[in-house]
Structure 1
Amino acid sequence: MEHSEDRTGALAEAVALRERGRQVEACERLVALAVRWPDDAEVAYQTAWAHDVLGREAQAVPYYERALAGTGLTPEDRRGALLGLGSTYRVLGRYEDAVALLTAAAEEFPEDGSLRAFLAMAQYNTGRHHESVRLLLRLLAATSDDPSVRKYRPAIEHYAEDLDATE
């Protein structure tokens, strides 16, 4: 795979365009880069993200999948690609795919609450309401800075395990 200053500079310029709100132009440039460097996971990830920002979820999927199948993503970019693809699957109604992907992602990145929040949404969409609420309650108990939530954390954690419990 060719990795030159040309690729690095062109990718940085395209990302900067997206960050400055010029999403369409950024997406066009990234698609061209993805054609030129089809095996580049970072280019694929940025191209997926550019499509997502424009609401082009179906077009983002193959780029996310290519990014995750490749090598070279930083852990942060891999986490972002997993979240992006899982969320995109959910938006497209591919709920079981979203649950499977986000479950694996949450296991790979257990410290990332956003993955668990998106997993809970996908679980809800599949009718797994108890699992969804349980996951959200655990996340709330573990991450909330609200003093009243902190005060009742043990109770919230207890009831998260058995939502039908009365004592």
Structure 2
Amino acid sequence: MRKQRSAAALERQLEFATTEKEKAVANYNLGLFHDNNGREAKAIPYYRTALQHGLNDETKAQALAWLASSLHKTGNQDCAMDSLKEAQRITTDASLNQFLSRLERRVQRTHHAKT
């Protein structure tokens, strides 16, 4: 079972990260933490920073998916669609693809409802 982390522990992980990979993973974990606690707007910059530092393809696809979901929930449908399309291009994970397909339909419905 994976141990639940506190925000303080995750922030320390980021503070002590020295390599690009460590910084990417620390930012990704902070994004997940805030996202999973209903703070999507706070998660977005962490996901973006993680992506800038470089993640392996599997984690990059997940980060893009969660970023897309957070963008959708905060009302940024165009950026959400861009992120989810990029995630769809690089993922080989069937479960993640299913999630992205469902998210794409929600983003499209929200976008069409506003136009």
2:109 to 101, 120, 124: 124
Looking at structure 2, the residues matched to 107 and 123 of structure 1 have their Cα atoms a distance apart, in angstroms, of: 18
The one of the two structures with greater contact order (alpha-carbon pairs below 8 A, sep at least 6) is 2
1:50 offset after TM fit, Å? Answer: 0.6
Looking at structure 2, the residues matched to 75 and 101 of structure 1 have their Cα atoms a distance apart, in angstroms, of: 14
Looking at structure 1, the residues matched to 91 and 101 of structure 2 have their Cα atoms a distance apart, in angstroms, of: 10
Q: What is the correspondence of 1:15-54 to structure 2 with a 5 Å cutoff?
A: 16-18=3-5, 26-37=6-17, 39=20, 40-54=23-37
1:91 offset after TM fit, Å? Answer: 0.5
Figure out how many residues of one structure are paired with residues of the other and give that number.
Answer: 106
CA RMSD of aligned residues (A): 2.0
Normalized against structure 2, the TM-score is what?
Answer: 0.80
2:86 to 80, 87, 104: 104
Q: What's the secondary structure of 1:66's corresponding residue?
A: helix
Residue type of the alignment partner of 2:65: L
Q: What is the correspondence of 1:33-112 to structure 2 with a 5 Å cutoff?
A: 33-37=13-17, 39=20, 40-71=23-54, 73-109=55-91, 111=94, 112=97
Greater CA drift, 82-91 or 32-41: 32-41
Looking at structure 2, the residues matched to 107 and 116 of structure 1 have their Cα atoms a distance apart, in angstroms, of: 12
Correspondence for 2:100: 115
Residue type of the alignment partner of 1:108: I
Which ranges of structure 2 fall in alignment gaps of 5 or more residues?
none
1:104 offset after TM fit, Å? Answer: 1.9
1:103 offset after TM fit, Å? Answer: 1.6
Normalized against structure 1, the TM-score is what?
Answer: 0.57
Taking only the aligned residue pairs, the percentage that are identical comes to 26
C-alpha contact (below 8 Å) 2:40/2:70 kept by paired residues = yes
